[in-house]
Chain A
Amino acid sequence: MRRITIIIALVFSITAGGKLCAQVSMSGVTVIGNKIGFSSNTSKEIKQIFRGKYANWSTNSQVIIVLPASKSVSAEVVATSIYGNTVSGVQKYWLSLVFQGRANPPVFLDTDEEIITYVKKTPGAIGVVSVGAQNIPRNMVIGINN
């Protein structure tokens, strides 16, 4: 299921960009974004974005990070692939960032569908879903370059 989602995402991303994009190499997750100024980026940069390095996009809209809730099924995979940490570690990571006001707190949603819907409606939002997620609009998938 997860595999299928990634593929669809990739297809969509090729279609959307009118270009042919390489397949995301971060295992198990698909990054989606809405009007964030780019449709693909390096994994390192993507990881940096998700770790709260930027507060605004190059388009000046606010960076809104959307993550799966810690009790959701994709939480662990996202934690592993993006943060290289455990779910609890991600929580503590965001605790310290928010505590010190160094980043806007991310939006945690329980399911992929909720994440997709949220990103779809919210310009500047960047989210991560499991590879197998359904109904990912093609233009929202962010290509990851190695």
Chain B
Amino acid sequence: MAGFFQKISFRIWLPFALTLSLMMLVVAFYYPREQEKLFRANKERELKELAKTVALGVELSLRADDFQGLKKTIDFVSGTSDFEFVAIIVEDSVTAKENVFISYPEKPQDEILNLNPDLYVYQKYPFRTADFVGNILISASKEKINELVFNLNKPVYIILPIILVVSLLLFFILARRISRPILQLTKTAKELEAENYAVVIPVTQQKDELGELSNAFASLRDSLVDQKERNMQLTLGLEDEIKLRTEDLQSTQQKLIEAQKVARIGHYEYFFSDGHWESSDVLDDIFGIEKNFKKDLNSWNGIVAPDYQVEMMSYFIDLVTNKKKFSRDYKIKRINDGEFRWVYGLGEFKYSESGIPYSLSGTIQDITDRKLIEEEVKRLSLVARHTSNCVIIADGQKKIQWVNDSLIQLTGYSFNEIVGQTPRMFQFEKTDPKTLAYISERLDDNLSVNTEILNRGKTGNEYWLELNIVPITDAHGGLSGYIAVETDITARKMADEELRKSQEALKKINETLEQKVLENTKKNLDLSKSIVEQEKLATIGEISAGIAHDLNTPLGAIKVGTESVHFTFEALLANNISKCSDAQLKRAIEIAKSRTVEIYVGGLQLMRERKETIAYLQATYGSERENLAQIAEMMVKCRILVQDTQIMDEVYKWDNPLDVLELINNIQIIGNLLDTIKTSVDKASKVVKDVRSFIKTETTVDRTRVNLHDNISTVLSIFNYELKRNINLVFAVDQNICIEGYDIKLFQLWSNLIKNAIESMEDYPNKNISVRSVLYDGKVDILVENTGPVIGPEIIEKIFKKFFTTKQGKNGTGLGLSIVKNVVDEHGAKIAVTSSEEVTTFKVTFNDPILLS
């Protein structure tokens, strides 16, 4: 309702309405009054005229007997609407008193003579005849007159309100019409304000102000729509960008969290004011604490491993005093399982303006796994450092980063002189350029290298090395460096040289012999024997490099083992024995003896066993013992496992289980090392024995039962070095086959066949040798196969002839296969050669094999 009165249509209408109503009121009041006044005056005049007419009628009737005229007059008068009565009043000539002569309609005289002015209006008119004088009185009813007046004004009373209402209505419609465009524009403006740009604004041709306003609105709307569109685009662009950036940010954050989880890095902040600290989820996980763990100085001290607490405290004080950054490794003890973990802490202090530290924040990373690896690396580097072989570690540019003591001793250079140089520093003019080119070629292709090379030391000492270089690749297959293991083979080389010289001499003798053979007969068996011996020597010479290597390997192991025994034994004497009672000592030795220990047990197994042990101990004895986890770890190391709880309980109940366990462990380690040393010594002995049995003379050997498997495997063990280095060997001779024969001669037979096979494949990438037996029909075939070059039929024809060689100028004597033929003949056996692209086979067929049950 209030809104209606504030509407523009109402406000246009109101003045009109007021003006009109006022006019109407004035008319309604004024016009009937005037009308009445006029009417009453007229009425008086009319009455007077009527009175006059009646008077005239009376006079005429009396003077001229015209009663017809009188009648008409009376009829006329009495016919008027408001007529009340008419009377003839006469004056008494004597008393001058008025009397009513007659009245029509008849009324009492008193009433006529004393007319009530409230009820009547009247007029008098005199008349006079000869004997009759008086007045005519005519009267009208006031009530009737009033009625007439009212009827007269009645139309005014009816019409005026109608006119008023109709006019007001018309004005109102008009006002609505005038205000409509304004309302329309107001509504439009509101729609626009509400961003409804689809609203229709009538474009008008009207030239008045409203038309202009409407058109201005339309163009304003267009401009708004345009502006809105641009804003929308801008907003959308911004939203998209914000969305993209938010996604980027979220993904970065997610990655960071993932990275922290993977790297096991957590974040912390320590506040000096109240000693409380805050930590991230990852850190809580590292510390093994729950969300509601109370984080203050006390609880922190509970997390740091007991043996690190004092050290950490002094480190902390040093940092604060000297305003340094926190950066160090230390050990913690996890709250939930008591496990000890290595962590790496980083942190920075924040200082107030007065220089007082108020917080320390940074990261803590769980580096236990890395520490385990580091320990392993330490052990490995101990091996590398102490091996008799020379070890060089170089980077991808072949610059030397590390060498071991053996190399320093061999070359005579100091560590610092070597590091940063390339191995070129050891090479000189006598070093074979082909070998160097070969090494470069292989390494460029990321392939390992096995070769021999002549180098020179600081003092000018020349030495031969057997060189084994392995490229090291990183996780992505990229080259990260090289490891070279070098064996000093100068001695072998010297022997080779001597051998070469003797072969030369032999060749000369052969030439002479040939002459003699040609001159004399081929019946000189002594000479033949001597040649066999020579061949034997040549074989020994050729295999001596392998022998040297085979001896060197166990000797290196013996050296490392002995050093470790020494080291461990010192620890045993210095730390362990003194801390244990005699009874414990005795028991420890018993326990140590009863268990087989591996020095390095793999990570996963170790962790599982450690967890099992911790679980058992906690379940059985509770968690009070603060070094429970350490004890469990040592138990696992000593191989006291949950399968053997009796000993576990016994050890755990001692006051100083850690000392006893360490004692047990060290005894076990020593035992283990001694085993290793013994095995190595056995290996070396076997090599020596093999060589010795090979060079025994056949004359003292009788024909015996020879096990073919054992016989051939002895020969293979002599060629062990070459075979193992780069040849794929298949050895499949039945262990139960024996023959009657001369084992030494058979050695010669196999060694020649195998040596030939090895040499034939020298330049071939895929080297395969197979030695196998085939048993059938009272015979046995020994097949010696290689994947070397094809032997042509013209060569096969002559292959077993004495002095026939395809290795002219390359140490070939032409005796090997003739010896083979001789041995085969001596055993009543046969030999055949077949050769194809795939395989070359020497088949030796023995009769009457003896089978062991």
Contact = CB atoms under 8 A, between A and B. Distances in A.
Contacts of A94: 61, 67
Interface of A: 67, 69-70, 88, 91-92, 94-96, 98-101, 104-108
Contact of B68 (A69, A92, A105): A105
A98 B101 contact: no
Given A92-B132, A99-B102, A101-B104, A70 B65 contact: yes
Contacts of B75: 101
Contact of A95 (B102, B105, B131): B102
Contacts of B58: 95, 99
Nearest to A87: B65
B712 interface: no
Contact of B62 (A69, A91, A101, A104): A91
B106 interface: yes
A95 B65 contact: no
Interface string B620-650: 0000000000000000000000000000000
Given A91-B65, A108-B65, A101 B102 contact: no
A77 B58 CA distance: 24
Contacts of A67: 65
A92 B67 CA distance: 11
A96 B102 contact: yes
A92 B132 CA distance: 9
Contacts of B74: 98-99, 101
B88 interface: yes
A105 B102 contact: no
B88 to A, nearest CB: 7
A-B interface, 3 closest residue pairs, ranked by CB to CB distance from nearest? A105-B67, A108-B65, A96-B102
B53 to A, nearest CB: 13
A98 B67 contact: yes
A98 B69 CA distance: 10
B88 A99 contact: yes
A118 to B, nearest CB: 14
Contacts of A96: 101-102
Nearest to A75: B65
A121 B78 CA distance: 32
A53 B75 CA distance: 20
Interface of B: 58, 61-62, 65, 67-68, 70-71, 74-75, 78, 88, 101-102, 104-106, 130-132
A1 to B, nearest CB: 24
A64 to B, nearest CB: 11
Contacts of A92: 62, 132
Indicate the member of B65, B68, B131, B132 with the most A CB atoms within 10 Å.
B65
9 contacts: A88-B132, A95-B70, A99-B88, A99-B104, A100-B102, A105-B61, A105-B71, A107-B68, A108-B65
B132 A99 contact: no
Contacts of A70: 65
B70 A105 contact: yes
A94 B101 CA distance: 13
B70 A99 contact: yes
A107 B70 CA distance: 13
Contacts of B131: 88
A108 B67 CA distance: 9
A94 B70 CA distance: 10
A98 B132 contact: no
B105 to A, nearest CB: 8
A107 B104 CA distance: 22
A100 B106 contact: yes
Contact of B104 (A69, A91, A100, A104): A100
A95 B104 contact: no
Contacts of A88: 130-132
A133 to B, nearest CB: 19
A98 B78 CA distance: 13
Contacts of B71: 98, 101, 104-105
A88 B129 CA distance: 11
Given A88-B131, A95-B70, A105-B61, 4 more contacts: A94-B67, A95-B58, A100-B106, A101-B78
B130 to A, nearest CB: 8
Nearest to B67: A105
A95 B106 contact: no
A92 B134 CA distance: 13
A90 to B, nearest CB: 10
B102 A91 contact: no
Nearest to A104: B71
Contact of A91 (B61, B68, B78, B101): B61
A95 B130 CA distance: 15
Contacts of B106: 100
A95 B103 CA distance: 11
A98 B65 contact: no
Contacts of A108: 65, 67
B500 to A, nearest CB: 197
Contacts of A105: 61, 67-68, 70-71
B134 to A, nearest CB: 11
Nearest to A86: B131
